[in-house]
Amino acid sequence: MQPVNSVAPASSVSAAGPAAAAGKHKQDKTPEQITEAFSKGGLLVRTAQTNNAHYELRDNHISVDQGRDNNDVRLRKWSMAHSELKPNFFQMGPEHPREAAFLALPDKVGNHVVGVHEKDNFSGSIRPDMKNMPYEQSKAQMDQVLNTLKTNQRTNPKQQLDNSEIQTVGMPSDSIAGMLFNPAKPKFGQSASETTWEGGGKARFENMLQKAGPDFHGRSFPVFRYQDTGSGTRLEHFDTIRVPGQAADAAEAA
């Protein structure tokens, strides 16, 4: 995967930043908290097509049993990511179609994990035998997978590892902390400039967030680019966007 160039220092915030900070939601995470988590216990990354990405911000508290009975609820598949692992995010990159991904904190997933796999499990929908795993069990398995991946990366620092697959049904709203942006391969009739953040990416992200479920109203998400460092990944914060709506904590305070 080719490095992605940053357009602004890691500490910069767009015009959306001050407004987002003024209405800070109690579940919001700072860019520094996210990058610290990335370099310590790692993050979960789930890519999505921008026009469908809002579904990741709905049905967040649903159980696997509820999901099995609802055809609209999908199995969510995440990849383990860490600063010591080279970037390898599903269908994301200069020759791939996905420009958006969500960043989630593994220590906030609760009991929503239903499967942990070191490599892509080529899974489809929710299976009859899937169960919500106790947090202690899923956390131990995710830590084991991450340690194995880090060992493999150190052994072969130039190798791009296979995607791991962490399966969840729903995801606690406070676990989803930020987003990734990477210019995607232009669609038919789309110019290269339209794939950039300034040329259309930001507008597509904002349009997507307008469709988020009520748990996310008033939330602000730091947006990052990523760079392949040669043997790992660096996250670069360059903007912050806010989900429209009243922040839940502000409403409670009133």
Radius of gyration of the chain (CA): 18
Report the distance separating Cα 115 and Cα 127, nearest Å. Answer: 11
Which pLDDT belongs to residue 20?
40
Q: 196: closest CA among 1, 8, 26?
A: 8
The answer to whether the Cα torsion of 236, 224, 229, 44 is positive or negative is positive
Give the model's confidence band at 222: pLDDT under 50 very low, under 70 low, under 90 confident, else very high.
very high
Quick: pLDDT tens for 75-130. 999 999 999 999 999 999 888 999 999 999 999 999 999 999 998 887 778 988 99
Report the distance separating Cα 113 and Cα 25, nearest Å. Answer: 25
Contact 84, 50 (CB under 8 A): no
Which pLDDT belongs to residue 231?
84
Quick: pLDDT tens for 156-165. 888 888 889 9
Q: Is the pLDDT of residue 253 over 80?
A: no
Residue 250 host element (H or E): helix 248-253
Which pLDDT belongs to residue 23?
52
Which pLDDT belongs to residue 120?
85
Bridging pattern class, strands 220-228 and 176-181: parallel
Quick: pLDDT tens for 7-62. 333 333 333 443 344 458 999 999 999 999 999 999 999 999 998 899 999 989 89
Residue 149 host element (H or E): helix 135-155
Which pLDDT belongs to residue 247?
56
Which pLDDT belongs to residue 158?
82
Report the distance separating Cα 236 and Cα 47, nearest Å. Answer: 17
Say whether pTM exceeds 0.85. yes
Which pLDDT belongs to residue 83?
96
Quick: pLDDT tens for 47-71. 999 988 999 999 898 999 988 888 7
Which pLDDT belongs to residue 77?
94
Lowest mean per-residue pLDDT among 155-164, 189-198, 216-225: 155-164
Contacts of 150 (CB under 8 A, 6+ apart): 82, 84, 85
Which DSSP state fits 25?
-
Average pLDDT of the residues in 159-175: 92
Report the distance separating Cα 254 and Cα 246, nearest Å. Answer: 11
Contacts of 189 (CB under 8 A, 6+ apart): none
Domain boundaries, the chain: 16-247
Contact 186, 192 (CB under 8 A): yes
Which pLDDT belongs to residue 10?
33
Percent of the chain with pLDDT over 90: 68
Contact 220, 28 (CB under 8 A): yes
